[in-house]
Amino acid sequence: MLRSFILFGAFLTASMVAPVSAQQMAEEAEPLPKVFLIGEHEDRYGALYEEYHEILLAVCKNDMTVAFDRWMHMVTEMEEYAKTIDFDLNGVKVWLKLFWNNTGAIDHLSYYLKPDSRNIEVAELSAFFSSFMNHYTLPVESTVKFTHNGSAQFPIGVMPPTARR
């Protein structure tokens, strides 16, 4: 009887463990995309924080003005790049999470459209962000990888003079 109870317990425990599907295993083996929606790839997204543990403010020597200027520089360049490739960002409002390497190049960009954003195809916006990443480097001096959470809406409008550099 005890032996039957132990076998039943082992069977019950084994059946409670969720099997890992081939799709889940394949997704875990794939590298994290350069651009993705916030909420996707959560397992690998969390691991980025181990590699990109510094924040933009710290890289800017804890100077809020400099950090804000760097952020606005990037958003301004994003808007200018959209104009040069004839991509309409007007009305787009997004939350952004960026991961930069120590040279200021963007390694990963995750985003989510705000509820009051203009409707835009996620695939098109992701393609735009991916293309922008290939053409932009944040003007900072850093020896470490870093990250920043922020938001943007387009058109940008009036900006501080220091962000127009």
- Confidence (pLDDT) at 29: 60
- Asked whether residue 125 is assigned to any structural domain, the reply reads yes
Per-residue pLDDT band for 68 (boundaries 50, 70, 90) equals: very high
- Confidence (pLDDT) at 30: 76
- Asked whether residue 118 is assigned to any structural domain, the reply reads yes
Per-residue pLDDT, averaged over 105-130, amounts to 97
- Asked whether residue 11 is assigned to any structural domain, the reply reads no
- Asked whether residue 122 is assigned to any structural domain, the reply reads yes
- Asked whether residue 19 is assigned to any structural domain, the reply reads no
Enclosing domain of residue 82: 31-164
Total of domains in the chain: 1
Beta bridge partners of 97: 110, 149
- Asked whether residue 23 is assigned to any structural domain, the reply reads no
Per-residue pLDDT band for 56 (boundaries 50, 70, 90) equals: very high
pTM (2 d.p.)? 0.76
pLDDT at 8 exceeding the cut of 90: no
